[in-house]
């Protein structure tokens, strides 16, 4: 089935396999193209914009992803879980004279929201969407990390900073998509590597610098095999403790990625009939990015173990037969649900835990047979649910995710702006909010960051700096300074958000393009567009050339 997106005007296809999943959940075919569906969901997730405010339950000062003045109460995340409030007190009847979404928004604006989404974290107040973290700072979507800072989607790691998608690693800095690594810096796509700096797509390597596409090598610089003595001599000449030299090395690394390295058309491992990028151990999974162990699913972004799913973001622990969900764990037979864990048979729910058979509910734990937070008998629940769905079909709301205009976050606070950036005027033309920067966060710095790491005294942690790219203020925290000294790297001169953005630009986009293999000419799909300069090979040629 070919359809036209009601927002972008683009043509998009809804396959027979898609329709079967929609029919299982009683849903109509989507009206938006995959990108616009993704944008709409992501407009509800704020990863990294934090505010200081008071908890509306305890009155104490807290860190929150919501500012001080919000239409809804905000509770410190640990207090939210306790018995100091009852979500059922906010229950109400559905008004059949009004549309669904305005009623749901009224409910949302009355119910307390968690300040952050963290579980079982210790000394990790400035973290979000994290579980089992200890002594972490600005760790986003992390799990079981210790002494980690400024990371995104880093898990089971220790003493790591400024990374994106790093797993089971230690002492890794400014790297992307690395696993089982130790003492590595400024690298991408490493597996089981140690003491590797400025390396790309290396596996089982040790003591390599500015290398690409190597397997089980040691003592190499620019892919040249050296003796241990010559390697150590040449590596010692690298001044990674100097900001000036480090910037030159970053440029050289970017040149290496563009001019020397061979890129596989799609990073797919142990998969059958899959397309996207960074996919492992999956089958019949399409347009998927950063996923593993997924089957018979499509339009997945940062997902684990999904089966029979469509349009998922940040959804882990075996989601099944679910559509349009974001920031969830272990959901089954759910639609249009977010921030919810270990639940099944939900629709239009938010922050509901361990629940089943709920519709339009917010903040429930162990809820069942509820609509708008009001309890019903099993029979009455299903009867009323069908009546509401019939009404929503008439108003053309049924099958649509929550409108982005209702999001509690400004567009440029959300991950939607990271992956689908818009200007202020474009955002406002869509009826969305734009956050105006607070002038208090852009003060001039009194002290400049020194070029050499050795010139940074402990007192530098008392200073406030201005980002060289954005002008936004940032600080160097004591544990961060200790980490830089251990890794022998120059102090950063741009803020954590700008560093995150720089890593985002190094990653290929979450798009697929038709292009030809530059070795054999075979037509293939790749996140590298044909206009880019990188050398991109099909899987067959890549394996023959690199492995």
Residue in 138, 137, 87, 142 with CA at minimum distance from that of residue 119: 142
Which tokens hold the place of 377?
């008998």
Nearest 5°: the CA angle 244, 456, 496 is 70
Q: Which residues of 73-91 are buried (b: 16+ CB within 10 A; e: fewer)?
A: bbbbbbbbeeeebebeebb
The torsion angles phi and psi of 187, rounded to 5 degrees, stand at: -135, 165
Rounded to whole angstroms, how far apart are CA atoms 472 and 368? 46
Alpha helices in 237-306 (DSSP H): 243-259
What one-character-per-residue DSSP string does 23-49 give?
HHTT-PPPSS-HHHHHHHHHTT--SS-
Classify 511 as helix, strand or coil. coil
Rounded to whole angstroms, how far apart are CA atoms 39 and 407? 12
Report strand pairing: 374-375 vs 268-269.
unpaired
Q: Which residue shows structure tokens 């000036």?
A: 244
- List, in order, residues 6 or more apart from 150 with CB less than 8 Å away: 137, 138, 139, 161, 162, 163, 496, 499, 500
Nearest 5°: the CA angle 316, 82, 79 is 85
Cross-strand partners of 224: 221
| Cα–Cα separations (whole angstroms), residue 161 to 35, 253, 460 | 31, 19, 19
Burial of 315 (0-12, 13-18, 19+ CB in 10 A): buried
The crossing angle, in degrees rounded to 10, of helices 100-108 and 378-394 is 120
Contact between 41 and 430 under an 8 Å Cβ cutoff? The reply is no
- List, in order, residues 6 or more apart from 386 with CB less than 8 Å away: none
Per-residue pLDDT tens digits of the chain, which is 547 residues long: 999 999 999 999 999 999 999 999 999 999 999 999 999 999 999 999 999 999 999 999 999 999 999 999 999 999 999 988 999 999 999 999 999 999 999 999 999 999 999 999 999 989 999 999 999 999 999 999 999 999 999 999 999 999 999 999 999 999 999 999 999 999 999 999 999 999 999 999 999 999 999 999 999 999 999 999 999 999 999 999 999 999 999 999 999 999 999 999 999 999 999 999 999 999 999 999 999 999 999 999 999 999 999 999 999 999 999 999 999 999 999 999 999 999 999 999 999 999 999 999 999 999 999 999 999 999 999 999 999 999 999 999 999 999 999 999 999 999 999 999 999 999 999 999 999 999 999 999 988 999 999 999 999 999 999 999 999 999 999 999 999 999 999 999 999 999 999 999 999 999 999 999 999 999 999 999 999 999 999 999 999 999 7
With the CA atoms of 299, 127, 442 and 44 taken in that order, what torsion angle do they form, in degrees rounded to the nearest 10?
30
CA 220 to chain centre: 34
In Å, the largest CA–CA distance within the chain is 81
Tell me the Cα Rg of the chain.
Answer: 24
Rounded to whole angstroms, how far apart are CA atoms 8 and 39? 12
E strands present in 382-539:
465-466, 473-474, 513-516, 523-526, 535-537
CA 199 to chain centre: 24
Please report the pLDDT score of residue 446 as a whole number.
87
Classify 194 as helix, strand or coil. strand
Residue in 290, 294, 303, 299 with CA at minimum distance from that of residue 271: 294
Sign of dihedral through CA atoms 102, 103, 107, 110?
positive
Residue in 170, 126, 164, 175 with CA at minimum distance from that of residue 146: 170
Contact between 307 and 17 under an 8 Å Cβ cutoff? The reply is no
Nearest 5°: the CA angle 514, 517, 523 is 45
Number of Cβ atoms within 10 Å of the Cβ of 26: 12
Number of Cβ atoms within 10 Å of the Cβ of 399: 20
How many residues would you count in the chain? 547
Rounded to whole angstroms, how far apart are CA atoms 486 and 483? 5
Q: What's the predicted TM-score (pTM) here?
A: 0.95
């Amino acid at each position: 089935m070919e359809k036209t997106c009601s927002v972008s005007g683009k043509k998009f296809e809804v396959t027979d396999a898609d329709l079967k999943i929609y029919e299982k959940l009683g849903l109509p075919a989507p009206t938006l193209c995959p990108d616009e569906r993704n944008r709409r969901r992501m407009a509800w997730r704020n990863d990294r914009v934090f505010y200081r405010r008071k908890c509306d339950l305890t009155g104490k000062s807290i860190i929150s992803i919501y500012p001080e003045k919000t239409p809804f109460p905000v509770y410190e995340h640990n207090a939210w879980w306790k018995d100091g409030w009852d979500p059922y007190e906010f229950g109400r009847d559905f008004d059949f004279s009004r549309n669904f979404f305005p009623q749901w928004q009224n409910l949302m604006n009355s119910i307390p929201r968690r300040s952050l989404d963290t579980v079982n974290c210790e000394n990790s107040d400035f973290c979000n969407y994290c579980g089992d973290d200890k002594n972490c700072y600005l760790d986003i979507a992390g799990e079981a990390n210790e002494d980690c800072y400024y990371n995104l989607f880093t898990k089971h790691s220790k003493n790591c900073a400024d990374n994106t998608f790093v797993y089971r690693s230690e002492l890794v800095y400014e790297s992307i998509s690395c696993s089982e690594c130790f003492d590595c810096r400024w690298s991408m796509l490493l597996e089981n590597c140690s003491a590797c700096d400025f390396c790309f797509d290396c596996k089982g390597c040790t003591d390599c610098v500015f290398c690409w596409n190597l397997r089980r090598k040691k003592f190499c610089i620019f892919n040249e095999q050296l003796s241990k003595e010559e390697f150590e001599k040449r590596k010692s000449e690298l001044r990674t403790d100097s900001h000036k030299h480090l910037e030159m090395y970053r440029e050289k690394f970017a040149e290496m990625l563009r001019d020397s390295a061979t890129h596989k058309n799609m990073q797919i491992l142990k998969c059958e009939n899959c397309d996207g990028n960074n996919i492992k151990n999956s089958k019949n999974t399409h347009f998927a990015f950063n996923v593993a162990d997924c089957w018979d699913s499509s339009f997945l972004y940062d997902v684990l173990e999904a089966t029979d799913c469509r349009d998922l973001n940040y959804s882990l622990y075996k989601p099944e037969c679910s559509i349009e969900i974001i920031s969830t764990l272990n959901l089954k037979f759910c639609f249009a649900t977010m921030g919810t864990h270990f639940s099944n048979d939900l629709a239009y729910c938010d922050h509901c835990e361990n629940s089943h058979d709920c519709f339009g509910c917010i903040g429930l734990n162990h809820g069942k047979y509820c609509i708008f937070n009001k309890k019903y008998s099993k029979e009455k629940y299903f009867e009323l649910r069908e009546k509401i769905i019939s009404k929503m079909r008439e108003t053309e709301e049924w099958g649509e995710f929550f409108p982005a205009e209702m999001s509690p976050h400004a567009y440029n606070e959300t991950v939607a702006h990271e992956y689908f950036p818009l200007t202020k005027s474009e955002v406002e033309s869509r009826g969305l909010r734009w956050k105006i920067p607070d002038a208090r966060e852009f003060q001039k710095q009194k002290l400049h960051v020194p070029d050499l790491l050795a010139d940074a005294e402990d007192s530098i942690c008392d200073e406030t700096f201005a980002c060289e790219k954005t002008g936004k203020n940032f600080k160097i925290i004591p544990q961060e300074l200790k980490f830089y000294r251990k890794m022998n790297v120059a102090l950063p001169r741009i803020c954590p958000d700008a560093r995150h953005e720089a890593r985002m630009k190094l990653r290929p986009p979450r798009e697929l393009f038709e292009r030809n293999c530059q070795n054999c000419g075979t037509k293939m799909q790749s996140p590298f567009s044909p206009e880019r300069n990188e050398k991109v090979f099909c899987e067959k040629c890549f394996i023959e050339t690199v492995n």
